[in-house]
Each structure stands twice: as C-alpha cells, then as structure tokens.
C-alpha cells in the first residue's frame, strides 16, 4: 500500500539499509505493485528488456546468500530480495511487444516507422556484439531499478542494492535460463532493523559543469 506519497521525502531521504526485520513479509501483490513503478522507467526504443526475479522463500534467499559473500546478512534478513536483470534474447520478444502494444491501442506511427527498423538493427548488432548487449541491459535495468527502490520507500520499506555477488553462479543457483537472463543488480527490500547510515554526498555544484 502506498504509505508515503511525498516525492521530496521519498527521494531525498532514501538511505541504503543493511539489516532488516526478518519477521516482516511482503505479499506478491504488493511486490508486483512496486515493480509496476519500475516498468514505467524509460527504456531505449521502449524495448523494456528489464526482468525481475523475486526471492521470497528462505530457500531462495539462502541460495542467493551463498553466492553473495559479505552481503549474506542483508539478504537473509530482507523480506524479499529482487534480482534485477535483462532478457538477452530480444528478437522474438520484440515481435510480441509490438503485438501487445497494438492490442492495447498504444502502437504509435512513430513506433512502426521509426522504432521498428532501429530495433531490428540493434538486435542484429547484439547478435554480433555481446558487450553492446550487456551494456544495453545494464543501462536499462538500472533505470528501472532506481524507480523500484523509490517505489519501495513510497510503500513504507527501505532497500539495499548490491553489486557484490557472483553474477554467473546466481543463474544456476536460482534455476534461471542463461540464454534469457543477464543479472545486473540485487536489491534487498524490507523494514530496516536499525536506522540506516547517512552517507556523504558530493554537492551537485561540484559534479556539474554548464556549457
């Protein structure tokens, strides 16, 4: 349930949590609601490659913890751990996406004339250039990941994002298909057990130049 609809507070007071109350459960329905915010993030050519694997069971969390080194405590105490990643076989998926958009009455002329040929070119490039595909998935899934983390706060939870996990071993650990999923980020979600650290942020003026 949306508990905090104050944009300013959701974004400016977000802190990474490292320890959660293990007694809290979050329903599948509520997790899907939070993921819906993530689906509204923009993606290149609206290709929407981002995918979510939600570990709720203790068995699944233990399998993730086993390949996540020092991050194990936050994974095991979290209400859910969301593995964010991307679909790596984008060709057939795109056909389906256009059909779905048409069925929903949201297939624009721009999409047909402009995006479709660009998508076909991009998918062909990805077949030759695995690195370009990796970067595409990292970029798009990270945009969605940020919206998900903010939505979790709006729903009254806090998150802890982790890149420190074995990106190859997590695939068999969670019984995922390596031909369809590239993992990019792990996000623990729950009610923080202790007040998260306030971390230093560089002032905007120090990292911005105007032209």
Restricting to residues 108-167, which ones interact with a second copy according to CB under 8 A?
A: 108, 110-111, 114, 131, 134-135, 138-140, 142-147, 149-151, 154, 161, 163
Identify residues 173-192 at the interface with a second copy (CB under 8 A).
174-175, 184-185
Q: Is 95 or 108 the residue whose CB approaches a second copy more closely?
A: 108
State the nearest-atom distance from the C-beta of 20 to a second copy, in Å. 16
Sequence-distant (≥ 6) Cβ neighbours of residue 14 within 8 angstroms: 149, 150, 153, 158, 159
Q: Residue 32 and residue 189: Cα distance in Å, rounded?
A: 13
**In this structure, how many other beta carbons lie within 10 angstroms of the beta carbon of residue 76?**
17
Q: What tokens were used for 126?
A: 């990805």
Residue 141 near residue 84 (C-beta atoms within 8 A): yes
Q: Is 13 or 127 the residue whose CB approaches a second copy more closely?
A: 13
| Position 76 contacts a second copy (CB under 8 A) | no
| Position 202 contacts a second copy (CB under 8 A) | yes
Sequence-distant (≥ 6) Cβ neighbours of residue 2 within 8 angstroms: 154, 155
In the 8-state DSSP scheme, what is residue 204?
Answer: G
Sequence-distant (≥ 6) Cβ neighbours of residue 85 within 8 angstroms: 50, 51, 53, 137, 141, 181, 182, 183, 184, 185
Q: Is 23 or 58 the residue whose CB approaches a second copy more closely?
A: 58
Q: Is 22 or 44 the residue whose CB approaches a second copy more closely?
A: 44
Identify residues 13-72 at the interface with a second copy (CB under 8 A).
14, 16, 28, 31-33, 35-42, 44, 46, 48, 50-57, 59-60, 70
State the nearest-atom distance from the C-beta of 179 to a second copy, in Å. 15
State the nearest-atom distance from the C-beta of 23 to a second copy, in Å. 20
State the nearest-atom distance from the C-beta of 64 to a second copy, in Å. 9
Q: Residue 25 and residue 55: Cα distance in Å, rounded?
A: 12
Q: What tokens were used for 52?
A: 């979510």
Count of residues binding a second copy (CB under 8 A)? 83
State the nearest-atom distance from the C-beta of 204 to a second copy, in Å. 4
Q: What tokens were used for 182?
A: 């590239």
| Position 198 contacts a second copy (CB under 8 A) | yes
Selected binder of a second copy within 12, 113, 128, 195 (CB under 8 A): 12
């Amino acid at each position: 349930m949306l508990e905090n609809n104050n944009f300013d507070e959701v974004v400016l007071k977000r802190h990474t949590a490292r320890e959660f109350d293990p007694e809290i459960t979050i329903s599948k329905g509520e997790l899907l609601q939070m993921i819906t915010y993530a689906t509204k993030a923009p993606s290149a050519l609206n290709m929407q490659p981002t995918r979510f694997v939600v570990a709720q069971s203790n068995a699944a969390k233990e399998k993730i913890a086993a390949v996540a080194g020092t991050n194990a405590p936050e994974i095991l105490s979290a209400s859910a751990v969301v593995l964010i990643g991307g679909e790596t076989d984008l060709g057939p998926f795109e056909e389906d996406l256009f059909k779905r958009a048409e069925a929903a009455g949201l297939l624009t002329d721009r999409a047909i004339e402009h995006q479709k040929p660009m998508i076909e070119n991009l998918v062909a490039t990805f077949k030759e250039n695995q690195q370009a595909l990796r970067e595409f998935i990292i970029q798009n899934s990270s945009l969605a990941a940020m919206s998900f983390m903010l939505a979790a706060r709006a729903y009254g939870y806090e998150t802890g994002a982790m890149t420190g996990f074995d990106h190859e071993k997590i695939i068999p650990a969670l019984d995922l298909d390596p031909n369809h999923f590239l993992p990019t980020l792990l996000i623990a979600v729950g009610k923080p057990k202790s007040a998260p650290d306030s971390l230093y942020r560089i002032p905007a003026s120090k990292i911005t130049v105007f032209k």
